[in-house]
Structures are given as structure tokens and as C-alpha cells.
Amino acid sequence: MVSLADLSMGLLAASGSDTVKLFDVSVESGDPCILSYAPSPGCVVNSVKWNHTNLVIASAGEDKKISLWRKNGQSMGTVPLASTDSGDSIEESILAISFSNKGSRYICSGGPGQVVRIWDLQRKRCIKWLSGHSSTITGAMYNCKDEHLASISVSGDLILHNLASGARAAELKDPNQQVLRVLDYSRVSRHLLVTAGDDGTVHLWDTTGRSPKNSWLKQHSAPAAGIGFSPSNDKIIASIGMDKKLYTYDSSSRRPSSFISYEAPFSSLAFRDDGLVLAAGTSNGRIVFYDIRAKPQPFTVLRAYNSSEVNVVFFLLNSC
């Protein structure tokens, strides 16, 4: 059984309501929360990400901006800048952000504005606007080579954007036309990604094709809330849903490898970098840690928030 102290499990970032918290989940006793801050008090945080050096946390949400904080608690400001010109201003909330993989100079954002924005954090400016969606964007992510950026929407659209040209490399559609809520790219296979959404269906895509490589139809009996590849083996996929279930899958099989239930609906999911541990946020403010070898088993529960849903959990990344 994995323990929290194993392999210097390190730091976990989470958000609930308007507050971002940083936990040192390897501590044996005492309060594991080492940092707590509200980027914009009263404004819900929808997305949290570490940069590639693990020194900076980016968050975004209903305050219509991306906030950058050092893990020592020092604010590094926001994008767009308060004094920015109208071309950079965001008129709607942000639902998703993602850093590029090769460095942390660039970050993308998406939301109800139906456009993916690419931000240059050095210049604090928006440098690209990627169009193609006709409804709210719910997720956006760079592939492992930073060649393409995938974005999903409530219309069930999955669009691949070529980052060099800004053109759309592919326009795919969920076969069930379900509202897509979550996506994840493989860390090693540049064309492999997974999506899931409101009808509980999970799709595995090879983006060089036009249809899913594998599908687990209505696997969740309520909307899916999180999806992810194991960082160490992209044949292993995990999903969580509002049906209180966590499933693991072998990408080549039509049936899930295992499932486990919890007492509350799940709301977010993250793998540790070694692929052995999964953290799942819940609607009642908990973060549950699972050892996913063989049948997933919970080995500890962190009371992260008193009652707020844990919108996001995100492990510290191993340095490449």
C-alpha cells in the first residue's frame, strides 16, 4: 500500500469556492495546508494549474482573469493587466486554463466567449485567438509536443488547433453529441486524448482519425467530472463522476478494469506523476487519495474545505 510520505508525494493544489489551497500531503502530522488565498474574494475559481517549474500556481474563474502566485504566497499579478487595452480584456468568466508543456511562458484560457486565447506571460498580453467554437468552451489543453491545442465545448465539439499557424487542424464531434466537460492529453503520445461529459460516456481519441478509438458508453450514470491518463502509462485511464464512482480502464479493453464508490459525488481528479496515486475531489469538500495498483483503494481522506465542492485538484509535476 502506498503511503502519503512515499516517494516524496509533495504538493497538491486545490480550489473550492473562491479559495486556492496548497497542501503538503507528505506531512505525517499537523495541518497539511501550507498556503490559502482567494485571488478575487467572492469569485469562484474554476481552474488551477502548476507551471512546469512547480514554483508558480495559475488560477482563473469568475473574476475574468488569470492570477499568478508563487508557492511561497507572493502574488505575481494577473493577465490581462488591469490597464490593458480592449483587445486583451476578457468579458466573460474563465472555465479552463492550461500551461504549455515545454515552458511556462504561454498559457491558454477558454470559457463562454467561444474563443481560446493564448497568453504570453512574459509580455502579459494575449497573442493568439483560436476560433471555431459556437458554444461555451469547457476545456483546453496543449498536446505533449506543444504542436496542437485541443478544446472542447458544451456542443460536443472537439477542435484541434495548429499552434504554429493558428488554423484548425481537425474538427471532431462527440458521437452522442453529449455536452463535453473534461479532457486530457497523453503525456507521451502526441495524438492521444480522452474526453467525457454529461451523459457519462468516455471516449478515447487518436486525433489522426475522425471517430473515437475506443468508447465506454454511459459508463457513469451521471455527468463525468474528471478524466485522466496515467502519466507513467497512457494505456491506463481513470474517470470520476457525479454518480460517486471512480473507474479505471485499460485503453485496449471495452470494459472498465475496476470501479470503486464513494459517499459523495466526485468533482475533480488528478494523477500523481508516478501514476500510482490518484487524488479525487468531492462535492463535500474532501480529497480522497487512491492507490490505483490492482483494484483502487482509498488510503487517506483530506478534509480540504468545510463544505465547498473541490473544483480542482492538481498534483505538483515532476521536473523533466
pTM of the model: 0.91
Q: How far is CA 66 from CA 22, 124, 137, 255, in A?
A: 17, 10, 16, 39
CA–CA dist 304, 15 (Å, integer): 9
Per-residue pLDDT, 288:
94
The alpha carbon of residue 74 and the mean position of all alpha carbons in its chain are separated, in whole angstroms, by 23
Domain boundaries, the chain: 11-83+91-315
Q: What is the pLDDT along the chain (320 residues), one digit of tens a residue?
A: 555 555 345 789 999 999 999 999 887 777 899 999 999 999 999 999 999 888 899 999 999 999 999 988 999 999 987 665 656 778 899 999 999 988 889 999 999 999 999 999 999 999 999 999 999 999 999 999 999 999 999 999 999 999 999 999 999 999 999 999 999 999 999 999 999 999 999 999 999 998 999 999 999 999 999 999 999 999 999 999 999 999 999 999 999 899 999 999 999 999 998 888 999 999 999 999 998 886 777 888 999 999 788 987 777 655 43
Nearest 5°: phi and psi at 252?
A: -90, -5
Handedness of CA 121, 125, 129, 134 (dihedral sign): positive
CA–CA dist 55, 96 (Å, integer): 20
Residue with cell 477542435: 159
CA–CA dist 240, 280 (Å, integer): 8
With beta carbons less than 8 A apart as the criterion, state whether 139 and 152 touch. Answer: yes
Number of residues in the chain: 320
* Per-residue H/E/C for the chain: CCCCCHHHCCEEEEEECCEEEEEECCCCCCCCEEEEECCCCCCCEEEEEECCCCCEEEEEECCCCEEEEECCCCEEEEECCCCCCCCCCCCCCCCEEEECCCCCCEEEEECCCCCEEEEECCCCEEEEEECCCCCCEEEEEECCCCCEEEEEECCCEEEEEECCCCCEEEEEECCCCCCEEEEEECCCCCCEEEEEECCCCEEEEECCCCCCCEEECCCCCCCEEEEEEECCEEEEEEEEECCCEEEEEECCCCCEEEEEECCCCEEEEEECCCCCEEEEEECCCEEEEEECCCCCEEEEEEECCCCCCEEEEEECCCCC
Query: In sequence order, which residues have a C-beta less than 8 Å from that of residue 82 and are 6 or more positions away?
Result: none
Q: Architecture of domain 11-83+91-315 in CATH?
A: 7 Propeller (2.130)
CA–CA dist 108, 97 (Å, integer): 5
CA angle, 10 as apex, 94 and 33 as ends, to 5°?
A: 65
Per-residue pLDDT, 318:
54
Burial class, 276, CB count within 10 angstroms (exposed 0-12 / middle 13-18 / buried 19+): middle
